[in-house]
Structure 1
Amino acid sequence: MHKDLVAALDIGGTKIAGALVDGGGRIRLRSRLPTPAHEDAETVMAAVATVLGELSRSPLWARARAIGIGSAGPVDASAGTVSPVNVPAWRDFPLVSRVALAAGGLPVVLVGDGVAMTAAEHWRGAARGCRNALCMVVSTGVGGGLVIDGRPHPGPTGNAGHIGHISVDLDGDLCPCGGRGCVERIASGPNIARRALEHGWLPGPDGDVSAAAVAAAARAGDPIAVASFERAAQALAAGIAATATLVEIETAVIGGGVAGAGEVLFAPLRRSLRDYATLSFVRGLTVAPALTGADAGLLGAAATASRIARNTGSARTVGRC
């Protein structure tokens, strides 16, 4: 069994997670710190360096052959820079070069967090064995990534498949990205809750106004909560069907906190897909919940790093879903 490892970083607005991961997708060592998201750029980088330092002090570090980074975006993999919306001090921050310096010159590869989740699901999750897939994170935002011809397709900058900013309502609300009627503006957790509140939904005695609370109300039969999830499902279905029409994906894998609503989301999503995915070559499109959970960012970063580090024999043959 091959002994090499890769290092992985999962960088977001709330946490900086690191891991050493083996060729079977097993996490051998972890490190994690809160993201000092509202501090200056060097303070954030210092937290990344601390996480890397904890990994590098392990005897396992000697087996690390590359580092993969999955970061909140936008990212620019071609330039090695990141500008996460939720880390204001990092604008065109040269993350790849700084991580390479902190890690002693190991090869470093960067992708957006949606692409990382996609790589994880294709390697160890619900898209395993798929030649063409869309994987999505539906949470406080909506991100995604593509698998095309059996390989994750990050695109030139590491952002390909960012379905959250496809417009599905030409006269819809203005999105923070500058567009109108984006999938994210309708289907993200905060927007599901916003829509329910605007239409008269009342939270319970605990005052919880999260999407999870709206999901609980929908499961209990609240018609406004049900309608808010149906609207979100419709937006997701329109975006998924558009993507399938362009690149002939076979399955859409959905993770993130909103996917935790279960059939409250997936049942209307499957119904709406029948309305939008009507052409003969997309009618067989399936939808599945993600399987890699909270480790998706780390596993996806590791999968991406493995591709630049690997000199081991032939890769697993990838078939259809």
Structure 2
Amino acid sequence: MKAISYSAYGPADVLEYGERPDPRVGPDSVLVKVRAAAVNPVDWKAREGFLQSGLEAVFPVIPGWDVSGVVVQPGVAVDEFAVGDEVIGYVREDFLSRGTFAEYVAAPVRTLARKPLRLSFEEAAGLPLAGLTAYQVLHRTLKIREGDTVLVHAAAGGVGSIAVQIARHEGCRVIGTASERNHAYVRGLGGEPVAYGDGLADRLRELAPDGFDAAFDTVGGEALRVSADTLAEGGRLASIADSEVFSYGGRYAFVRPDATDLAHLAELAEQGIVTVHVDRVFPLERAAEAYRLNQEGRTRGKIVVTVDWDA
């Protein structure tokens, strides 16, 4: 099969497009014919070696955890999916090697859910990792409740945009940091946008003088410090970007595959409650360009790589 892979840690230049062995399907997995795979910041962090302490790389590594596609072969113990089923998945194992930037991926059923019919394959590929991150942090870590005032950083990004939609659906008031060009987009999601930069804490206090009941940091650094400074008494703080969150009494979160959570997200998407904005689409052979663009950190929504099966 054709795939993107790398044989050493490094920048996007280490990514190569070429032939890799077809994946083997275990008893609890299905073989998915990949239609689209989304790029996430964690992908380039893993490629550059920042996750070595928790995720060993077995080279050569096919990157990517997000996928949408079609089941072409169920494992012998699988009765959840059949040939022809359209699925989405956050296909992460506890090591780096067998990712989704390929024509096929063998995906454990614990990582999959049925694809929402109203989403295209490109949109659906952007839902699993970002959606699960937003859902799990909001519900399990921050434990948001109806009536909470919630701060979401990078509210126009992949995780942030879904977090805004979920929190609004749960009856929260949501204030989200974003660049000026994305303010209309954040408003369209139901959030109240506020600009980054100097004076952010003061602007947040003007909007929420009583402080935030929950703050979701997706950026780290100054954003984390401002989040801690603007919490209400008893407010909850979580970060997916900066372990310094512990020093502020908050919690660090790392998303995990969960078929039940993913199915719930798919249902929210099917109902139109959660949408996925696709910023750019690249063919598989140009995945390195997609990674470079994602690493710039200015994306609205998701960057997606597609596999062309019609050529």
TM-score normalized by the length of structure 2 = 0.33
